[in-house]
Every structure is written in C-alpha cells, then in structure tokens.
Amino acid sequence: MTQLQADLLVIGGGATGAGVAWDACLRGYRTILVDRSDLADGTSGRFHGLLHSGGRYVVKDPRAATECIQENMILRRVAAATIEDTGGLFVSTPADDLSYSDEFLQGCLDTGVPVEEISTAEVLRREPTVNPAIRRAFAVPDASIDAWKLLHALARGITDHGGRVLTYREVTALHRDGDAVTGATLRDTRTGEETEVDAGFTINASGAWAGRISAMAGVGDVTIVPGRGIMIAMNHRLVNTVVNRCTMPADGDILVPIRTVSVIGTTDEPADDPDELTVAQDEVDQMLHAGDQLVPGLRNSRALRVWAGVRPLFRDARSQSSDRDITRAHTLLDHRDRDGVERFITITGGKLTTFRLMAQEAVDAMCRHLGDSQPCLTREQVLPGSESGEYYTVRARLRAREADPGNDPLVCECEMIPRGRLEREMREHATVNLDDIRRALRLGMGPCQGGFCTYRATGILHEVDHLDAATADEALVAFLEERWKGSWPILYGDQLRQARLDDWIYQGLLDVEHLPDWSAT
C-alpha cells in the first residue's frame, strides 16, 4: 500500500475541489486532490455551461447575483481560455409576465449586473432564430464556460505548483485521531489498489456527495438534497448568445451555446440519490416544449443527447421552504465550530461560476484554523493556458485545421480531433476508458455520437497503449453503452436516423455483439 503525505487533502475533483487545491497550492500548501472518477464527472461536468452574469438571480437572490457578476469578471481575467464570450440575453416571451422585466431591470441595477435594454429588432438581428414574438429584451454579460477546459487548466496549475491530482481514487475511510481528521484511505477503482494519505487538513468539496464524506468523518447531519436537473444538447448552435427567459427561474428557461452545441435546460426535482441519473420521458418532452418558447421549431430540430446533473443543495435543518428555495448560494461548514471535529471543513452548494470564491472561503477558513495568513492569489493568478487573455472561440478547431491540414487525419470528424492529438492524450492520460478521452477532447460528442470515431479510437488505443484485444474491445463496448445512456431517451428524427446508421456500423458491419466474450447474456 502506498503512503502519501500532504498538508491538505481535497476530496472532490469538480470545480470547487480543484479550485480549493489550486488556491491552496498557490499559498504554498502541499496538496493532494482526489476524485472517485475522472475530473468533472460530477455536477461540474453535467451543467449547461453558463458563466452567470447574475441576471438569473437579481430578483430572487440578490446576494448570489452580486457574487456571480464579481466572479464572472474575475474568471474572465484569469481563465479566459475556458470561456466563450457569447454575451447573454434576457427576453420576455409571450408566456412571461411582463412586470417581471421591470423587477429584473431594477434588480440588475441594484446588484451591479451590467444591463442594457435592447430592441426586439436588435435581438432578431443578432439571433434570427429567437422567438419573434418577444416583447422586451436585455443584454447582460453572460458567457459560456467549458468545465473540462477549466478542470484541466486547474489540474495543470495544481501539478505545476507541486500538487497531486489523483483520479479514480475513491475515499473509503476518513481517519480520526481523537477529534481531528488526519487523512484518508483511498481505493483505486480501476485496480483495487489502496493508498493511505496522511493530511494535515481535509477539505470536503464533494458536492452532492458531501454528506457521505462528512459522515465518514463522524459528522452525521450534513444533508445535501440532490437537486436533479436535465439538460438537452441540440446538435448545433441554434443561437450564439446565451438566451434566458426573463422570468422567475422556471424549467427549460435557458439556452446556452457552448462549443459546437446549444444546451437547453433545466429542471429541478429533488432526488434521493445523486448517482441516480436516468432520465424520464416526460422530462424530455417538457424540456423540448420549453425550448420551443425560446426558439420556435427547436422541438423539430435535432437533439443530440440528454443527461441529468445534480445540484448540491444544502438543506439547513431549520428551514422549511421548497427545494428551489434552498439556498443556491454556497455553504461553508466549519466542523470545529459546528460539530467539534477538527481539521475538517465542508464547502458545498453554489454554482460553477462562484467556484473560485467558494475555494477562497474554504482555504481562508483553513488558514484561520492553522494560524496561517497567506493571502489568496486566485483573483489575479492566471490559469495555465489563459496567459494570452484571449477568450476561447468555437472556431478554434476549424482554424487550427485550416492552418495545418497536413496528413494527420481527423479521427473524430464531428469535433475535428486529429489523430496526433488523440494519441497524445491517450499517452498522457494513460487510460483505457474512452470516456476519459471524451471529456478531455470531446471525442464522440458531435452529431454521430461516436458512430465513426469509437471504432477508430479503439483501434488507436489498442496500438498506442499496447493493449490486448480484450481490453480494447471492452473499452469500445463500454463507450458504446456510455454514449447510449444519454442517447436513447431523445431519439427521434435526425438523431434516430443517426443512431440506426450507427447500429448498421457497429452491429451490422463490425458485429460487436459477437465479439469473443461479449455475446449478449
């Protein structure tokens, strides 16, 4: 069994946890970040990609709105390469109460969210697909942010500063010595191998799973209500600006252009189990209808994929309001004050936009505990990859390909991933899981949903990693099953046609069903 030492152990490889580790590294703490899966496989990798201007909260939760706009501006400075500067619109559709728009405007002014009222004509000039019957519109500085780019930048930052990032390591136990948490036992979910970590401090940033982790420390009443929401990725950018309905938060009231798709979301249902992510038929129907309000005809256009994410909503035992009312502002639980458990903090709730602030508060709290006074540097320190200060643009891959068409064939044509890039990622990542590659590069995230590239990536993985055929075959089938999860609930129209073509390829032509050891049982 491996033994590791660290000043700080951070549990949870989403934006919050990675943000905590990054902040701590910059302050000089030897940090280890762990996640039971790949980075951003939890909530961070399952949201719609919105970098909030705060507009969505100006009426409902002004404090959250102000936090959002402040963090929005900071992230634009330090993480520009992970952000597409799409801008945002709030529009009053015929279904929306026009009086809300007055409150909205006032709310923006009060909370410091930059806002500009624009004409309907101007909206339709910028975004011809938007509902032409909108009655009022405002522009705000929403943007879209790519969670995987962000997480990879944070991970690089962490390792550049001497920290360690351990993925696929599940925490199976937290160690106590008297009142203090002193570390954890990790189990590699791929190999079963165990690792012991001795940590001077432990920060629980495991989002929707925070209750489970804190229970391991002997803290029993951290209740996180998983707020389930579904999102649907539409095949192309139906809009190039984030479009919100100008209304109290409702289901399906936002359409986010992110990378090559646009995401319509979301719903909000309390769930029991944050790992229970199946999608129900009526949720899908509801989401598509909602999307039609923003962009008429959306229902008939092509939906690529549907998935569920869970918001970590901290339920304060004293409050009695509905789940949408559970604070979406974040919560810092100082377990020494609250529960008498030392060297253990939980940071939960919040949204990706405010991850840096959450991380700062958590690390500040740790510093107070330790009697240290290093200041937080994350407001100014630029993340690796964002040095130029230039925003990401969706044209980047097309431009790169044009600059160098060469003889490097595109393996994933939909998302323009050349073979060399894929091989490099496979070598660096040292994984046999094509879903990890997908998160890193967007493999299989285009219209064909892996129809062509799954086979190619498997063949390349087999070669590059010197795998045996059985492992490669497993990787292929696992990826097909993984893609299928988010595909079958929204199969209609063009995407059904695509899926059937993919069936002809994988079952008809390649006959995966009859791979040795893979006959359907």
Partner 1 sequence: MKPEVVVVGSGMSGLAAGVALAEAGVGVLVLAKGAGSLQLAPGTIDLLGYAGERVTDPLSAIAKLADRDPRHPYALLGAEAVADAARWLSSRVAEGPLAPYRYVGSPEQNMLLPTALGVLRPSALVPETMAAADLRHADRIVVVGFRGMKDFYPSLIAENLMRATGGAVSVRATQIDPPSGLDGEPGTFRLARSLDRPGEAAALAARLAAVVQDDEVLALPAVLSIGDPHGVWETLQRVIGRPVCEIPTLPPSVPGLRLFDTLRALLRRAGGRLVTGSHVVGTKGSGDRVEAVRVHVSGGERSYPTRWVVLATGGVASGGLTLDPDWRMWETALGLDVAGVPAPEELRFSSRYLDPHPLSRAGIAADRDLRPLDADGARRWENVLVVGAALAGAEPWREKSGEGIALASGHRAAQLILNAERRVQETVPEGVAEPIA
Partner 2 sequence: MSVAGHDHDDVLGDLMRGSLDHCVKCTICEQYCPVSAATPLFPGPKYAGPQSERFRTDEESVDRSVDYCSGCGICTQVCPQGVHIAEINSRARAKLKHDTGIPLRDRIITRSEILGKLGTPVAPLANASLRNRPLRVLGERALGIHRDAPVPAFAGRTFRSWAKHHVAAVPTSDRVVFFYGCGTDYYEPRLGEMAVEILEHNGFAVDTPKQGCCGLPLQSSGLFEDARRYVRRLAHNLAPAVRGGATIVAVSTSCSLMLKREAIEILGLEDDAELRLVSGRVRDICEFLVDLHDEGRLRTDFRPVDARVAYHAPCQQQGHGIGKPALDLFALIERLHVDEMDARCCGIAGTYGLKREKYEIAMAVGEPLFKQIRAVSPGLVVCDSETCRWQIEKASGVPSVHPVEILHRAYGLSNVPDGSAINGNS
| Binding footprint of partner 2 on the chain (CB under 8 A) | 128-129, 235-238, 240, 260, 295-298, 300-302, 393-395, 397-399, 402, 405, 413-414, 416, 446-448, 451-452, 494, 497-498, 501
Find out whether 223 and 213 touch, Cβ atoms under 8 Å: no
Rounded Cα–Cα distance for residues 140 and 405 (Å)? 38
128/162 with CB nearer partner 2: 128
Cβ of residue 202: shortest distance to partner 2, in angstroms?
A: 43
Judged by CB under 8 A, which of 78, 304, 452, 474 binds partner 1? 452
3-state percent breakdown (helix, strand, coil) of the chain, nearest 5: 40, 25, 35
477 binds, among partner 1, partner 2, none (CB under 5 to 8 A by kind): partner 1
398 binds, among partner 1, partner 2, none (CB under 5 to 8 A by kind): partner 2
Q: Output DSSP code: residue 442.
A: -
Where does residue 40 fall: left (phi above 0), alpha (psi -120 to 50 degrees), or beta otherwise?
A: left
What amino acid is encoded at 251 in this protein? D
Give the CA distances from residue 429 to residues 99, 102, 140, 435, in Å, rounded to whole numbers and listed in that order: 52, 50, 38, 12
Find out whether 249 and 321 touch, Cβ atoms under 8 Å: no
511 binds partner 1 (CB under 8 A): yes
Could you say which residues in the range 277-336 bind partner 1, by CB under 8 A? 278, 281, 288, 299-300
480 binds, among partner 2, partner 1, none (CB under 5 to 8 A by kind): partner 1
Judged by CB under 8 A, which of 109, 275, 399, 488 binds partner 1? 488
Judged by CB under 8 A, which of 98, 121, 398, 469 binds partner 1? 469
Q: Give 415's contacts (C-beta < 8 A, 6+ positions apart).
A: 260, 397, 441, 442, 443, 445, 446
296/384 with CB nearer partner 2: 296
Interior CA angle at 130 toward 128 and 132, to 5°? 90
445/457 with CB nearer partner 1: 457
192 binds, among partner 1, partner 2, none (CB under 5 to 8 A by kind): none
Find out whether 454 and 446 touch, Cβ atoms under 8 Å: no
Q: x/- site string to partner 1, residues 406 to 445, per CB under 8 A? A: -x-xxx-------x--------------------------
Structure-derived torsion over alpha carbons of residues 282, 287, 290, 294, reported in degrees to the nearest 10: -160
342/413 with CB nearer partner 2: 413
Q: What is the crossing angle of helices 453-464 and 419-429, to 10°?
A: 50
Beta pairing partners, 203: 10, 345
Rounded Cα–Cα distance for residues 427 and 448 (Å)? 25
Q: Which residue reads 């404090």 in tokens?
A: 63
Q: x/- site string to partner 1, residues 373 to 412, per CB under 8 A? A: ----------------------------------x-xxx-
Cβ of residue 208: shortest distance to partner 1, in angstroms?
A: 22
Find out whether 245 and 96 touch, Cβ atoms under 8 Å: yes
Judged by CB under 8 A, which of 460, 465, 474, 486 binds partner 1? 460
222/239 with CB nearer partner 2: 239
Which contacts of 490-497 are long-range, i.e. CB under 8 A and separated by 24 or more positions?
A: 490/232, 490/284, 490/303, 490/304, 490/305, 490/306, 492/303, 493/300, 493/302, 493/303, 494/235, 494/302, 495/235, 495/302, 495/303, 495/304, 495/447, 495/449
Number of residues this chain uses to bind partner 1 (CB under 8 A):
54
497 binds partner 1 (CB under 8 A): yes
473 binds partner 1 (CB under 8 A): yes
Beta pairing partners, 32: 9, 164
468 binds partner 1 (CB under 8 A): yes
End-to-end CA, the chain: 36
Cβ of residue 427: shortest distance to partner 1, in angstroms?
A: 17
504 binds partner 1 (CB under 8 A): yes
114/296 with CB nearer partner 2: 296
Q: Which residue reads 């002997």 in tokens?
A: 218
Piece of the chain touching partner 1 by CB under 8 A; list 14-22, 139-147, 435-443, 470-478: 470-478
Largest CA distance in the chain: 67
Cβ of residue 402: shortest distance to partner 2, in angstroms?
A: 5
Cβ of residue 322: shortest distance to partner 1, in angstroms?
A: 28
* Chain residues that interact with partner 1, rule: CB under 8 A: 278, 281, 288, 299-300, 407, 409-411, 419, 452, 455-456, 458-460, 462-463, 468-470, 472-473, 476-477, 480-481, 483-485, 488, 491-493, 496-497, 500-501, 503-505, 507-518, 520
